[in-house]
Amino acid sequence: MASHFSSALQLTDLDDFINPSQECVKPVKVERVVGKKGAIKIETDGSYMEVDEETGAEVKLEKAKITLNDCLACSGCITSAESVLITQQSQQEVYSILQQNQDCRKFGLHNEVKCVVVSVSPQARASLAAKYNLSALLTAQKLTAFFHKLGCDFVFDTSFSRDFSLVETQREFVTRYRSKSALPMLASACPGWICYAEKTHGAYILPYISTTKSPQQIMGSLVKDLFARKLDKTPDQIYHVSVMPCYDKKLEASREDFYNDLYKTRDVDCVLSTSEVDAMLETEGVNLSDINAADLDG
């Protein structure tokens, strides 16, 4: 799975992806007394022991609690990404939410049913269109029908949020240019590049990076705020799925910057790559070309 991420988010010659049953074994940083000598010993079970060279006493080091956001800010010392990336950013999680909705309706718990919104990027749509030899419009209509059949409530195109992002980026640049501050302005919707810049150049480069959200996160804000209010729902009553061409977008959606502390929810709850959507089609035993087109939601 590690090969799906961009090179900026992978450590050289290391597999930075682990399975849900595994744990990160990076030892917790310990405070050492100046002048005290010690060593680290690795047991046969993979645990780490700190050995005091003077007394020979051994103390077992705790395993670090590494979150996905820790990995985003990692300077290269962590060799594994947290398993939450699989469990919360996969088609299995989407299926779980859809099943949960079915169960809630079955037992009359309608207040606990989440409104499932899917946002499809034009790049992901274009890839599927090329694979199935369909037009972009027809692909969008067939994807809308597919997600509706699964139980999703709305399927949107992120082209609008992309335009919104470009307009806001232009406004930000003009403001900076007129004030002659923080130039040149660097803008990118690629979380891999942003992560690379943060990890390798830190405070030096950050003032020059545009503060405008990416199209994915702008769409997340619109869905969880504007659209939620239109439906008379709170952000946590909406489950937002984003279909993107790149696995790195999963990391972007998981950043604390895009977490609503009040409602305990993220702007984008789950990111599916194009290949994962294609895998869902295979799971359902359908060919995108054979699905009847449906009217677009927006």
Task: Count other C-beta atoms under 10 Å from residue 152's C-beta.
Answer: 21
Segment 87-95 mean pLDDT: 82
pLDDT at position 142 is 97
pLDDT at position 61 is 75
pLDDT at position 185 is 95
| 179 three-state secondary structure | helix
Give 14's pLDDT tier (boundaries 50, 70, 90).
very low
Q: What is the pTM of this model?
A: 0.74
Q: Are 234 and 184 in contact (CB under 8 A)?
A: no
**Residue 26 scores a pLDDT above 70:** no
Give 267's pLDDT tier (boundaries 50, 70, 90).
very high
Express as a percent the part of the chain with pLDDT over 70: 78
**Residue 116 scores a pLDDT above 70:** yes
Contacts of 114 (CB under 8 A, 6+ apart): 97, 100, 101, 237, 238, 239
**Residue 68 scores a pLDDT above 70:** no
Span 195-234, pLDDT tens digits: 778 777 878 899 999 999 999 999 999 999 999 999 999 9
Segment 70-90 mean pLDDT: 49
pLDDT at position 18 is 40
Query: Does residue 235 have a cis peptide bond before it, meaning omega lies within 30 degrees of 0?
Result: no
Lowest mean pLDDT: which of 22-31, 67-76, 249-258, 262-271? Answer: 22-31
Give 269's pLDDT tier (boundaries 50, 70, 90).
very high
The chain-wide mean pLDDT, for the chain, equals: 82
Give 113's pLDDT tier (boundaries 50, 70, 90).
very high
Q: Which of 137, 149, 156 is nearest to 283 (CA)?
A: 149
Span 126-161, pLDDT tens digits: 999 999 999 999 999 999 999 999 999 999 999 999
Express as a percent the part of the chain with pLDDT over 90: 54
pLDDT at position 200 is 75
DSSP string, 68-117: HHHHHT--S----B-THHHHHSSHHHHHHHHHHHHHHHHTT-GGGPPEEE
